Amino acid sequence: MQKKAIVVGSGVAGLATAARLAAKDYSVTVFEAHNTYGGKLGLTGNERYRFDLGPSLFTLPHLVEETILNCGKRPFDYFEYSQREVACEYFWDDGTQLTAWGKAERFAEAVYQSLGVKPDVVLDYLRMSARIYNTTRPVFLEKSLHRLQSYGNRDTLKAVLQMHKLHLTNTLHGVNSKKLQHPKLIQLFDRFATYNGSSPYLTPGVMSSIPHLEHNIGTFYPKGGMRSIVTALYQLACDLGVHFEFNSPVQRIKVEKGRATGVEVAHNFYSADTVVSNMDVVPSYRKLLKDQPAPEKTLGQERSSSALIFYWGIQHSFKQLDLHNIFFSENYQAEFEAIFEQKTVFEDPTVYVNISSKAEAADAPPSCENWFVMVNVPGNTGQDWDALIPTVRKAVLHKLSKNLGIEVEPLIEYEDVLDPRKIEKNTASYQGSLYGASSNNTLSAFLRHPNFSQKIKNLYFCGGSVHPGGGIPLCLLSAKITASLIPD
């Protein structure tokens, strides 16, 4: 008899897990609380401007292709993408600008021209980044860290032998301060801590592996925008026979005699041999498993940062801007102290501007641009966001206008706002955190919730709040790990 699996939530990891299980001949049903799939990878805008609601950076596209191939399908039937020539444009308030080219050698030369740091400094750093990534990837990203059999292999032995070179006992900022020779270059590489919602002054130096993805492998853009990633996975799942129930919030995961037996939706019970929660692990326990003991130490970890995002339709075209743009704070350390210690937004925040119309012209009218303007902020712990938002907006407009040499506010003809409260409400992400628990701890990789329940049989977890972490690539790896743990 065909086994039945239920997946709670249709974020990128939920979709990928559902497809992988269907390819293993499971009968799969996905229950989604909202009227569409995709989780944080949603859409907003109007008839003139289209915006991807959430994640905007696309790296490691082979993980999408691998998911499709694993399910016996052809990637190009579902998904297309192209590599970007420029990874990011960087701006500082003193007028310094730097184009971070996608190719390492060209990027290193640009650093030399803008900051006077010799190319070998950057290239040596990127070689170190590649070595750390390739050493840790098979152990920390591609396997469950919570099963003994993950450790008895050559990859683990190699990682152990290289442990002293992984910078586990130093911070990312400490590594960058030692390896790099200019405060602006240090700040540039410090920012990679934000890729998992952490502080460079707290997160371990092993995170210096992250720049490898952007500067050695490259950044990419999916045809049709970031939403097309989940559209491809949704279509893949449908083609494999996965059944979707939208507008169907799960009320409870039923557990009998230490075994997950199904879910309750609208007071109806749906049985299953396997249940997978793609919901944030905190509400998974607090709402869906209220009658079960919760791993309080795991759930009580510090959360990652959240985001305050302005979606602006801009009646102007800026030639000096690209798809990804960063306008740095003049006091980076104070900014992160404000986020993680004071739980507020720094008065001079770093501003990220994503303009998908640079890659997809149809996302904005001619001679106009769609700006996704993001500031890193703390999770929602009761701050007065109604007072904070206009203050942050004013600071953002001041920074952008100063750097671009033109008043930005009069150019805005469309505006929408997403804050941590809405992120929490719309995606069930506890406190509106973008990546689950933060990585501001040397042992953070081991402290994340595993992809399976250690007390309840047949219950599994996937997504950004569990191993190996948040962001599209790690969510796809989470789905791969989870599906591999579930027996055929």
Q: How far apart are the two ends of the chain, measured CA to CA in Å?
A: 12
**Does 96 reside within a domain?**
no
What confidence tens digit (pLDDT) does each residue in 16-73 have?
999 999 999 999 999 999 999 999 999 999 999 999 999 999 999 999 999 999 999 9
User: Which residues, listed in sequence order, are joined to residue 117 by a DSSP beta bridge?
Assistant: none
Evaluate whether 274 touches 473 at the Cβ level (below 8 Å).
no
At 441, the pLDDT band (50, 70, 90 cuts) reads confident
Q: Is residue 63 part of a domain?
A: yes
pLDDT of amino acid 442: 72
In which residue are the tokens 């966001």 written?
A: 385
Q: Which residue has the tokens 């075994």?
A: 259
pLDDT digits (tens, 9 = 90+) for 402-413: 999 999 999 999
Task: Read off the pTM.
Answer: 0.95
d(CA 138, CA 295): 27
Asked if residue 453 belongs to a domain, the reply is: yes
Kindly state the average pLDDT of the residues 349-378: 98
Q: Kindly report the backbone phi and psi dihedral angles of residue 374, in degrees, each rounded to the nearest multiple of 5, phi listed first.
A: -120, 140
User: What is the rounded average pLDDT of the residues 348-360?
Assistant: 98
pLDDT, mean of residues 421-432: 96
Domain total in the chain: 1
With respect to residue 128, please indicate whether it lies within any of the assigned structural domains.
Answer: no
Would you say residue 250 has pLDDT above 90?
Answer: yes
CATH label of the domain that carries residue 467: 3.50.50.60
Average pLDDT over residues 354-371: 98
Position 357 in a domain: no
Residue 231: inside a domain, yes or no?
A: yes
Q: Is residue 70 part of a domain?
A: yes
pLDDT-derived band of residue 149, with 50, 70 and 90 as boundaries? low
User: Which two structure tokens, joined as six digits, stand for 62?
Assistant: 């082979």
Q: 465 lies in which domain range?
A: 4-43+59-82+223-302+437-485
Distance of CA 107 to the CA centre of its chain: 24
Give a yes or no: residue 75 inside a domain: yes
